[in-house]
Amino acid sequence: MGRDIESSAFTQADFDAFAERLQSETARLRAWFDEGRLAEGPPVGGFELEAWLTDAEWRPAPCNEALLTRLEDPLLTAELARFNLELNTEPRTLAGDTLTRMQRSLDDTWRRCRNGAAVLGCRLLMIGILPTLRQDDLGPAAMTPLARFAALNEQVLRHRAGRALRLDLCGRERLQTDHPDLMLEAAATSFQVHMQVPAHQAAAYYNASILISGPIVAATANSPYLFERDLWDETRIPLFEQAVESGGVGGAAHGPPRRVGFGSGYVRESVMECFQENQAHFPVLLPIRFDDPACGPLEHLQLHNGTIWRWNRPLIGFGPDGEPHVRIEHRVMPGGPTAVDSIANAALYFGLAQYYAQPAGRGRAPDRLLAFPSARDNFYACARHGLGARVTWTDGESHAVDTLLLDDLLPCARQGLRDLGLDRTDTDRYLGIIDARVRSGRNGAGWQRAWVERHGRDLRALTAAYAARQAEDIPVHEWPV
């Protein structure tokens, strides 16, 4: 989805040609899995951070194009809305002091973006949903003027037969509204962690990522407010699902499988099953034909996969030498509250994914530890209630998720990071942040609500206070209210 296109006008011939190439590339990838052609190296980590651009009053500021032009950094890309920006990092082998180096890289990129934004009269903020956002900020004029975004909007609405997108969220309060286009998606920004894994173990890492998604959402929630309503702890989850609601076969927007969701189940033998499901069950949205010989061998498959937003999504990428590899994209975490919190969140994911993907000594593979419906229910319970959620875990019992994190999952994550070969100093520092956050009951959502409880629902003042504390880059559990 990062590549722009020349036109958003498609014919039936375009759809037919794309479908033919998608089928061919899916078969080619199947052969690569069967032949063992995908990389088997040590795990590699990286991330994408989506951020907000605001004006002096903490309202959305449509200046991403000017900032990208000014900085000319290949690690920065535009997002759907002109007030959003994506910051990327170079992939790094998960060993030694990688976590510290990831934070230094993020700190450096964030500093350059913040300084560049300041020159343009804008401010930069990492948060799941901007509290000052209003629905009328999400009109057509706010869309970044790239053809791929216009095309995606047109095709989603075509599959919905032109019906408006319906937002119906019931949390601490209720929000019901219709929106005429895809711009609702721009209200949610994420911290997406990538883990390149040995191909023969990709199914285990993918299933492990599903297993641990609920507790990770609880620990990292940072999106309680949308359009001045107090909703879920991680409102970004149902918001994104409803903002791009377009289903599978026949455009069944309300039936399984869904283009945005928790997926249809664990994979049984290989993540290849996800790509086969993509090809068989999801209509093509962007039938772009890549005829340039310089294009990679799976361009159509990669593009189609980029229009299906599982919360845990397998990706196929290519290294500098052209060798294909498998990555797991863990999409469940919101942006913020700080860079150090973000790297701590990544450490929790890397450690737990590594631990549960290694069945030796764990007794059973991740898909045998907890039934998929329970993992899915855990995910939505944790998105709704955060650290106050209860989850069913691998012993078949119901647990308070904060207690589960402290007594069970953090020790597992610590062991997983040790197994990867990460420095003990890094492990202690970043998992220590998660430990203290859970003990305090103060993730980003908890801090925002505590501030509102003390000062009242002045969401501009809330955002200003949040930004001031974010600038200090101390973990959110240490923020004063």
In whole numbers, what is the pLDDT of the chain averaged over residues? 93
3 occurs within a structural domain: no
Q: Give which of 163, 185, 159 is closest to 252, Cα–Cα.
A: 159
457 occurs within a structural domain: yes
Domain that holds residue 431: 12-478
**Domains: count for the chain:** 1
Cα gap 378→214, rounded to integer Å: 5
410 occurs within a structural domain: yes
6 occurs within a structural domain: no
397 occurs within a structural domain: yes
Q: 73-107, pLDDT tens digit by residue? A: 999 999 999 999 999 999 999 999 999 999 999 99
Report the run of H or E that residue 46 belongs to, with start and end: strand 44-54
CB 55 within 8 A of CB 122: yes
Structure tokens at 392: 């069913």
Query: What is the mean pLDDT of the segment spanning 266-278?
Result: 96
Query: What is the mean pLDDT of the segment spanning 157-165?
Result: 83
169 occurs within a structural domain: yes
Radius of gyration of the chain (CA): 21
Cα gap 363→202, rounded to integer Å: 18
CATH number (domain holding residue 347): 3.30.590.20
DSSP-assigned letters across all residues of 147-163:
HHHHHHHHHHHHHTTTP
Q: Is 228 exposed, middle or buried (0-12, 13-18, 19+ CB in 10 A)?
A: middle
pLDDT at 218 over 90: yes
5 occurs within a structural domain: no
Q: 36-81, pLDDT tens digit by residue? A: 999 999 999 999 999 999 999 999 999 999 999 999 999 999 999 9
Cα gap 296→318, rounded to integer Å: 9
Q: What is the pTM of this model?
A: 0.95
Q: 322-376, pLDDT tens digit by residue? A: 999 999 999 999 999 999 999 999 999 999 999 999 875 466 789 999 999 999 9
227 occurs within a structural domain: yes
